[in-house]
Copies of this chain bind each other. A is one copy, B any other.
Amino acid sequence: ARNYNISVIPGDGIGKEVMPEGIRVLERAASLYGFTIAQKWQDFACCDYYVKHGQMMPDDWKDQIGKPDAIFFGAVGWPNTVPDHISLWGSLLQFRREYDQYVNLRPVRLMPGVPCPLVGREPGDIDFWVVRENTEGEYSSVGGKMFPGTDREIVIQETVMTRHGTDRVLRYAFDLAATRTRKHVTSATKSNGIAITMPWWDERVEEMAKNYPTVTHDKYHIDILTAQFVLNPDRFDVVVASNLFGDILSDLGPACTGTIGVAPSGNINPDGTHPSLFEPVHGSAPDIAGKGIANPVGQIWSAAMMLEHLGEAEAAAAIMRAVETVLAEPGLRTGDLKGTANTAQCGRAIAEAL
């Protein structure tokens, strides 16, 4: 019997609205494909919890989460009550580190029915992965201020990269490329400007590449790479990047395919020693929260990524076919894609199309 335990954390804003649709589709997939999904919902890792308790999560959050097979996450952040750097570092970024989810994996794929902002691109033209380092690099909490509050004020923040942390994400990217048709890795760098860490990153890429004779690779400085995402998005297969560069590229990529509203992501611990976490790329979207109009596809596509990760590849593929069917129908997609459906209507349509 294939029985999975998942931890469900809706979070803030539209996270709470799209999560039920993700669950609806998951449950339908389970009943159709003969597995079960046991859910444990959590009310922490959201700003409501912070307002009540003065912190984003209870001290024993790890015990409360236990040992699920995966974590299904909505979106976190509500800047009106809690500054973003507090809400994020106290929840999502903490999961990524403490569960050592060292790969952030995001597809960039042009889907039928999603209006592409780039001239002349068709579904099929754009189909690549961004593999982002997810635990170290530019997202450090090391640094501080000197002469605070005075005219001489100096603020320092350290980027910290390790060979351990860099090599393992590069390995993941090359392994992934080796399974694909084009077998190509593009590395994001900035070794001409960021003159200590990034030349070293380039060296690690060259070292890793030696282990993969069948995989080709190249590198672009991050400035020109963002330009290439717009001008030649069909050129990419697997793009590997540091934490910050990967963050940028995995919002820009989905934007080039129409919207970040449908994009999913996996925060993956490839070693399996900790649970991996699946969440839409979009945030909690305070501007549209509470209206029931958020696009649930990012959450539902994240459910498909989670099932793939759990070994339910068939169910995952079926969800993606259902998503494509529904996106092609203006009456079933949400307003951000010039459709007329609300969140629940779109989610139900995908569950039915399964």
Q: Give the number of residues in A that approach B within 8 Å (Cβ atoms).
A: 64
A116 and B230 alpha carbons, distance in the complex (Å): 10
> CB-defined interface of A242-286 with B at 8 Å, one 1/0 digit per residue?
011001101110111001100000000000000000000000000
Asked whether, in the complex, the Cβ of A223 is within 8 Å of the Cβ of B251, the reply is yes
A342 touches B (CB below 8 Å) = no
Asked whether, in the complex, the Cβ of A194 is within 8 Å of the Cβ of B244, the reply is yes
Asked whether, in the complex, the Cβ of A230 is within 8 Å of the Cβ of B230, the reply is yes
A195 touches B (CB below 8 Å) = yes
Asked whether, in the complex, the Cβ of B252 is within 8 Å of the Cβ of A227, the reply is yes
User: A159 CB to closest chain B CB, in angstroms?
Assistant: 5
A118 touches B (CB below 8 Å) = yes
Give A243's nearest chain B residue, CB to CB: B193
Asked whether, in the complex, the Cβ of B227 is within 8 Å of the Cβ of A193, the reply is no
State the copy count for this chain: 2
> CB-defined interface of A87-111 with B at 8 Å, one 1/0 digit per residue?
0110001000000000000000000
A291 touches B (CB below 8 Å) = no
A157 touches B (CB below 8 Å) = yes
Asked whether, in the complex, the Cβ of B195 is within 8 Å of the Cβ of A85, the reply is yes
* Highest count of chain B CB atoms <10 Å: which of A157, A159, A222, A244: A157
Partner pick for A230 among B89, B162, B244, B255, CB 8 A cutoff: B255
B-binding segment of A44-52, A58-66, A141-149: A141-149
Asked whether, in the complex, the Cβ of A260 is within 8 Å of the Cβ of B227, the reply is yes
User: Could you list 20 further interchain pairs (A-B, Cβ under 8 angstroms) beyond the known A157-B158, A230-B230?
Assistant: A139-B193, A143-B158, A143-B197, A145-B200, A152-B163, A153-B163, A154-B160, A154-B163, A155-B196, A155-B197, A156-B196, A157-B197, A158-B159, A222-B247, A222-B248, A224-B260, A226-B248, A226-B252, A227-B260, A230-B256
